[in-house]
Amino acid sequence: MEGTKPQTQSISYKKVTYGGINGAYYTATTTRKSGSDGVVLEASKEANKTTGRATHRISKGIHDKHGPFASALHDDHHTSTLHTSRQSMT
């Protein structure tokens, strides 16, 4: 196709786990994808069996201007969701 540029992607993944003889009690992962068009998608998950809390945060935007969507799983298994919008003051 004429005028079409190939897209490239960069993907990074991090995982941290702490545990003992009874298995893992804390796990955190972060995945970040960015394209040559400047779109960035980042997802973070964290689970702590000691406190019974878990969170999941997703951010999407262009370059470094993105707002998070976050959800947390509480002790009573109720999920709360938060969306924040960050705007540039230029």
Residue pair 29/44 in contact by the 8 Å Cβ criterion: yes
Query: Rounded to two decimals, what is the model's pTM?
Result: 0.64
Residue pair 68/81 in contact by the 8 Å Cβ criterion: no
Q: Torsion over CA of 29, 73, 61 and 35, rounded to 10 degrees? A: 30
pLDDT in tens, 50-84: 888 888 888 888 766 656 555 555 555 555 555 55
Strand order through the sheet with 65-73: 9-20, 23-35, 39-48, 53-62, 65-73, 79-83
Q: Rounded to whole angstroms, how far apart are CA atoms 13 and 34? A: 12
